[in-house]
Chains A and B, each alone.
Chain A
Amino acid sequence: MIVSRSQHNTNNKLVFRPDGEDHPSESEHEPERRFMLGLFASMLDGVLVGAVYGLAASGLTLIWGVMDVINLTHGAMVTMGMFGVYLLFTETGLNPYAALVPVAALGFVAGVVVYWTAVHRVVGRPPLMSLLTTFAVNLMVIGTGTILWSTSPYNVDVNLPGFSLGDYTFTGNHLLAALAALIIAGGLSLFLGRTRLGKAIRAVAGNRMAAELMGIPSSQVLARAFGIGIALAALAGALIATLFPFTVLSGGSYELKSFVVTVLGGLGNPTGALAGGILLGLMEGGLTPFITVSWIPVIEFALFVAVLIAFPHGLFARRPRR
């Protein structure tokens, strides 16, 4: 009953998939070469995904740095970005990468609304208040999402051609997501350094009272900064949706990664967050060939605690001025 094409396939293997057993003439260094190639592939994969982690974390760290608010709606907004791109792709046929623009705009608007309704009154108050407020908003968003979409997995069905190194393939989706993350992070850096609003955000972050005295409407600036932070989270979610299937609950795991990245990159340092994300991805990729994958989160959070103790301002933070 069984119809096998294994012989045909085995022939293919001799051509396309060299391995030690089938190729007596192959170099005895093949296992080492293969291991090194596997390690490189794993690290490259890690860097590509890490750039997206970095983008997600830059939204969290921007809000944290500017207004001292630990934004627990972050994961929910990553999820909204995922569903934003999914709905635009499936309902309107919009290219998922073109959908990044409306997702960012909607994220910004959602952020400004959340700021004025939930965050504005707790800025400058004890941290527990903003934690509880943003956690409440998070529960409302996730609850609404669960009602609308349940917790079933969704998938943005896009496959871009990538490239292969031996048996290891890097998808075009990963390459483009990493490139988009780098471009967006670069744009954020330019925005904060070169534009009037960016400078105002930095001024308010540095000393809100002094900024007010210079005529900067700090509440307006904080609202926009919050909107930008949420837009970054939504953009990261949209890019992640092009890589992996997701559910309403998926944002939570990226929120946790964002905390690790934020601590690596330095609290309140969006550019450092990108570097932190890439470092985290590189670490994940570099460790995977040597240990069971279940250990990776354990090591990540051990690192989180270690960095908090040894480098409380992050690995890439500038030293605080005395």
Chain B
Amino acid sequence: MTVAVNPTQTGEPLFYLADEHPHPEGYSTSLGFWIYLMSDCLIFAMLFAAFGVLGANYAAGPAPKDLFDLNLVAVNTSMLLLSSITYGFAMLTMQQNKIGQTQMWLAITGLFGAAFIGIELTEFAHMIHEGATPQRSAFLSAFFTLVGTHGLHVTCGLIWLVTLMVQVGKFGLIEANRRRLMCLSMFWHFLDVVWIGVFTFVYLLGVLR
């Protein structure tokens, strides 16, 4: 590492890269956030692997067929899909600098997301009421961990969404807020991608088994 030492006129060594040039604020945010999403993707992949290994170990307890109501899952899936497209509309109106419409679409996205979480929690409460708790069998432990982690992500996304609505309301569609909205857009669509895996491999294949 010889490049790090640059003697100045006074003879004191300075430790920095001579060819470092200034970057505009946030120029690497989208790549950094993408790499975060990829690491999150690995977390979900390992939870899917755990579910794939343990998903058939019912310990003489309830099986997916006894527990899952596919009509409810279909409604839940449509909630998340609708929230994805409304977030897309928020991004489009943001590009046109329409603050009011952006806020409206963000609010609608938030309502769909809240509906998703509400339906999921109702489903969980119903299962736990019937005795299908996470402690009941390896299948249910893996199920609650995987689906619960996804639900927790959506909840965090909702908190982030409300925070950004306050930010946009206070400071308008400044460059920093546009960057933040773009990151949340990636996060939100990513959660929808994970949900495709959940409803296919956990719910549909579970009922099919």
- Do A and B bind? no
Interface of A with B (CB < 8 Å)?
Answer: none
